[in-house]
Structure 1
């Protein structure tokens, strides 16, 4: 298998595949008919995979680590539904640490959303926002809770024991310190050695391809220059959905970006799904939301979910992907009105953002086999 990497190199590199393909989750774009037909197919496929995933087992453990709480436009996070007066809401980005053993007994460690918060600040949208925000205001709106490496040290996980780095998409992500570079990096003052020397980035091939020539709608959210000298061998591009380990799957959920993907976990409380397709569990069941406007908007427009819509690359596909996620997830044991959907960036109440306090928050996924 070969691939031309899109960020400035013309090398053609043989890249291995990873995981077991999920035959029950097919490419919805191949379904005859329009987006409505694809929506119906998404429900049926999700129901089938929901029965299939538990047969693969459960991972050894799932641990949640908070990274940063930051402002995010309300009109993006709650799309057209919110009637909150606050122009910004707060979201908390968290990393999930998943551990399991392969059938041959080999231990595995997967990091989901291991964001380098320091370098992520230079994403064009957030960089421009920071330049316009006085320092005294920024200090009240941004809280850094911990670092990726700090959390791993606390958990007793050595960086060389990490096997997989997975993101729902590569918005805001700068991976140079995680996987190294092939050249000197002027902005870092060094050619960084990889913090995770044995880790591979599992990413949809569609997203890598889309980064070859970003559309104007995409440009505010990517840092393409940060990938120009990342070694191609650091990536494991996949096409579609795969099972990586017992109860651990990466499922293709296009829409928010072309190559969006979700983490799906079978745990002691049932199936969880995590991505940034929505920013709160109640966005999957807005009829139960107390956020101003969500329930009424859902009824008025017949919308079953409320999208996280900072990008509108393929909005109908994103809606269909969220329905797939909603169908896969079990209901919360804490409050069955809400699914076990864990936003990778979860809506967080703050006194500075009136009208945006979530009705319900998961806060963490905790699992121990």
Structure 2
């Protein structure tokens, strides 16, 4: 079920509410900087989190044209990027200790997105099929640092494209890896799935 109202232990970020109302791009840029600084001050004033851990998951090919935009350093078609998992433990506004999981990518499922499937075909000579089976998933990485996946409270991603959420949150064979977790997601991005633009489809 999609919920739009904030739970009692959440707070809105009002500093960014009216960011896109000014049609002038220069003024909008200045406004974004000012609002970002205001949010930074407010965020720091709340105090530090209890703990944060960053864990490398895997390296993957990504088009240099996207990764470096108009500043390519060579003629290689792909650059190699690193996917990382972030675990954050914090006290919410109700005083409860919570654990947030950021970007728990299931690489073998994400690899089925049309874009990555095509990349794998192009790079098959040096990326063996066995590589997916050799890399532990995010749940295994959590257990390795003493975090029980079943106790994760929230899961979020910097973006949803190429992400397959079913193993973590349910709808694949077997119990979900994060049975108590709630997914925090950008509503507009989620609603875009109802009618993807043709240029978006390779990423889903």
SS in 1 for 2:14: coil
1:102 aligned residue (92, 110, 120):
92
1:21 aligned residue (9, 12, 17):
12
Q: Counterpart in 1 of 2:74?
A: 84
Provide structure 2 residue ranges, at least 5 long, that are not aligned to the other structure: none
User: Please, what TM-score do these two structures have when normalized by structure 2?
Assistant: 0.89
Q: Tell me how many residue pairs correspond in the alignment.
A: 200
Q: Counterpart in 2 of 1:292?
A: none
Distance in 2 of aligned mates of 1:165 and 1:173: 12
User: Please, what TM-score do these two structures have when normalized by structure 1?
Assistant: 0.51
Q: Counterpart in 2 of 1:197?
A: 179
Instruction: Please state how far the C-alpha of 1:130 moved relative to its aligned partner.
Output: 1.2
SS in 1 for 2:43: helix
- The structure richer in helix per residue is 2
- The structure richer in strand per residue is 1
Distance in 2 of aligned mates of 1:205 and 1:50: 23
1:208 aligned residue (179, 185, 190):
190
Distance in 2 of aligned mates of 1:13 and 1:44: 32
Query: Where in structure 2 are the equivalents of 1:272-283 lying within 5 Å?
Result: none
Q: Counterpart in 2 of 1:219?
A: 201
Distance in 2 of aligned mates of 1:146 and 1:36: 46
Distance in 2 of aligned mates of 1:14 and 1:46: 26
Distance in 2 of aligned mates of 1:114 and 1:25: 27
Which structure's relative contact order is higher, taking Cα pairs within 8 Å and 6+ residues apart? Answer: 1
RMSD (Å) for aligned C-alpha atoms: 2.1
Q: Counterpart in 1 of 2:27?
A: 37
Distance in 2 of aligned mates of 1:169 and 1:58: 25
Distance in 2 of aligned mates of 1:152 and 1:89: 27
Q: Counterpart in 1 of 2:151?
A: 161
Distance in 2 of aligned mates of 1:214 and 1:16: 26
SS in 2 for 1:93: strand
Q: Is the aligned partner of 1:174 residue 2:142? A: no
Q: Is the aligned partner of 1:118 residue 2:86? A: no
Provide structure 1 residue ranges, at least 5 long, that are not aligned to the other structure: 1-11, 223-369
Distance in 1 of aligned mates of 2:3 and 2:46: 29
